[in-house]
């Protein structure tokens, strides 16, 4: 908390919104709009864009006051990409008009966003993307295919990167756009995964016209802006405020306590090791949020995302070993399209299978290891023979 004056002012502002828009009787959407207009959506955003220009560390304090007052949820779990990645990118690189058009309905949950980054032929090398955007008058005409796109079937808008200058090396000549998911030529197909669900989608873009006014940043500046998004993504996935013994660790620990018949010394040692590592990760997350609040983002986001993926996979595997045959039962293979990932309300088999995706989504573990090795530890960079070769000349 900055000081008592700031705290008192925020209490007064929150109380005013709650008094004028009683959550018990108000339309939830009108409540969210009022909260945004009062600058209490993201207090660290500028005034006029849902914030008050205050320190980020004040946000939990404000959220707590609204929670105590019974404020409704703003679809935050479904719109995690919009809130965690699109919004900070639009704030950092968008025009005044783009900020005014998109931030308010994004925060209120009126418009869900998805992320059109990954491609089937690029693998973990995002800079190798082949989706093309060609300028045609005041529009860009986009053709290509994206994959592993969460909530594309629900999204109104997408953040999209496409290649606009194939004669340049792969990290150059990429441009960042806002894509209207209802535009002609956008086709979303469900992508069924190992869990049996179709949580992700393939998105096909055929002669999709994007007005130049929906370009985010300068032509050819897409890779730099994409890294703003990716940094936010790692923090969003790996840096969640998890309580002690939260997440899958809590479920494994409960099984351990409730089923003494399943215990062995070897499983005991593994559980203790993962418990300690989970606690280290949790405390690292606390430090990361403190540094973010001070405006000093560090490498913890990449490290946390990497650790989150490894621990989820190891813990869900340990849970299956603990449960033996009981852990092999799977509740339902019916294809459904869930709106959010929920590890806590499913059985151990689901957690084990779904955790496999943690090391792919939001940046693969291999890429994150490279980032940490080169940018944090200062180790020699991996050899990149294609660094200065025009993208159009790269073998594919």
- Condensed to tens digits (0 to 9), the pLDDT of residues 262-318 reads 889 999 999 999 999 999 999 988 888 777 766 666 667 778 888 989 999 999 999
- Quick one: 324 exposed, middle or buried, by C-beta within 10 A (0-12, 13-18, 19+)? exposed
Helices (H), the chain: 4-20, 28-37, 59-68, 80-81, 87-93, 96-108, 222-238, 247-258, 265-293, 300-323, 348-354, 365-371
235 pLDDT tier (thresholds 50, 70, 90): low
pLDDT in tens, 336-389: 888 777 777 788 999 999 999 888 887 788 888 888 888 788 898 877 778 789
Q: Which residues contact 30 (CB under 8 A, 6 or more apart)?
A: 21
Domain that holds residue 13: 1-72
- DSSP lists the bridge partners of residue 179 as 158
Q: At 315, give phi and psi (nearest 5°).
A: -70, -40
Query: Is 44 part of any domain?
Result: yes
Mean pLDDT of the region 13-41: 96
The string over 268-282, giving b where at least 16 C-beta atoms fall within 10 Å of a residue's C-beta and e elsewhere, is eebbeebbebbeebb
Q: Which residues have a catalytic role annotated?
A: 233
Residue 170 confidence (pLDDT) above 60: yes
- Of 9, 43, 72, which residue constitutes the final position of a domain? 72
Predicted confidence at residue 222, as pLDDT, reads: 97
Higher model confidence: residue 371 or residue 213? 213
H or E element, residue 187:
strand 186-191
Contact 144/162 with Cβ under 8 angstroms? yes
pLDDT in tens, 173-197: 999 999 999 999 999 999 998 988 8
Q: Which residues contact 210 (CB under 8 A, 6 or more apart)?
A: 133, 139, 140, 142, 160, 177, 178, 179, 180, 183
**Structure token digits, residue 348:** 């151990």
- The rounded distance, in Å, linking the Cα atoms of 103 and 106 is 5
Query: Is 172 part of any domain?
Result: no
Residue 251 confidence (pLDDT) above 70: yes
What's the number of domains the chain is made of? 2
Contact 130/119 with Cβ under 8 angstroms? yes
Which of 256, 243, 225, 252 is CA-nearest to residue 282?
A: 243
- The rounded distance, in Å, linking the Cα atoms of 16 and 53 is 19
H or E element, residue 177:
strand 174-180
Contact 98/64 with Cβ under 8 angstroms? no
Q: Which residues contact 338 (CB under 8 A, 6 or more apart)?
A: 197, 199
- The rounded distance, in Å, linking the Cα atoms of 372 and 367 is 9
Query: Is 179 part of any domain?
Result: no
Q: Tell me the CATH number at 347.
A: 1.20.140.10
Strands 174-180 and 200-211: unpaired
| Entry pTM | 0.86
Query: Is 200 part of any domain?
Result: no
Query: Is 138 part of any domain?
Result: no
**Structure token digits, residue 20:** 């004028």
Query: Is 268 part of any domain?
Result: yes
Query: Is 156 part of any domain?
Result: no
Query: Is 26 part of any domain?
Result: yes
Residue 24 confidence (pLDDT) above 90: yes
Residue 237 confidence (pLDDT) above 70: no
């Amino acid at each position: 908390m900055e000081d008592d004056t700031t705290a008192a002012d925020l209490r007064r502002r929150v109380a005013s919104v709650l008094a004028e828009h009683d959550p018990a009787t108000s339309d939830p959407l009108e409540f969210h709009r009022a909260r945004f207009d009062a600058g209490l959506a993201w207090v660290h955003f500028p005034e006029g864009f849902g914030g008050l220009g205050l320190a980020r560390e004040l946000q939990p304090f404000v959220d707590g006051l609204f929670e105590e007052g019974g404020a409704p949820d703003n679809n935050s779990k479904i719109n995690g990409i919009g809130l965690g990645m699109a919004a900070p990118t639009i704030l950092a690189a968008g025009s005044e008009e783009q900020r005014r058009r998109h931030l308010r309905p994004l925060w209120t949950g009126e418009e869900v966003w998805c992320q059109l980054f990954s491609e089937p032929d690029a693998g973990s090398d995002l800079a190798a993307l082949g989706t093309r955007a060609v300028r045609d008058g005041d529009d860009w005409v986009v053709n290509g295919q994206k994959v592993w796109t969460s909530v594309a079937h629900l999204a109104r808008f997408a953040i999209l990167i496409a290649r606009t200058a194939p004669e340049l090396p792969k990290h150059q000549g990429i441009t960042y756009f806002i894509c209207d998911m209802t535009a002609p030529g956008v086709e979303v197909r469900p992508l069924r995964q190992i869990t049996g669900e179709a949580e992700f989608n393939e998105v096909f873009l055929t002669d999709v016209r994007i007005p130049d006014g929906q370009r985010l940043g300068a032509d050819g500046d897409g890779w730099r802006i994409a890294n703003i998004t990716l940094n936010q993504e790692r923090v969003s996935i790996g840096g969640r405020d998890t309580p002690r013994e939260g997440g899958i660790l809590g479920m494994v620990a409960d099984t351990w306590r409730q089923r003494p018949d399943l215990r062995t010394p070897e499983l005991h040692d593994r559980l203790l090791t993962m418990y300690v590592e989970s606690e280290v990760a949790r405390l690292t997350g606390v430090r990361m949020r403190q540094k973010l609040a001070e405006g000093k983002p560090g490498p913890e986001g990449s490290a946390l995302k990497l650790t989150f993926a490894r621990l989820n996979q190891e813990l869900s595997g340990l849970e299956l070993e603990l449960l033996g045959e009981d852990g092999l039962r799977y509740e339902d293979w019916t294809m459904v399209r869930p709106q959010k990932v929920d590890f806590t309300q499913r059985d151990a088999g689901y957690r084990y299978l779904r955790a496999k995706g943690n090391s792919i989504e939001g940046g693969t573990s291999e890429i994150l290891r490279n980032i940490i090795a080169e940018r944090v530890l200062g180790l020699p960079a991996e050899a990149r023979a294609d660094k200065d070769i025009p993208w159009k000349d790269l073998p594919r």
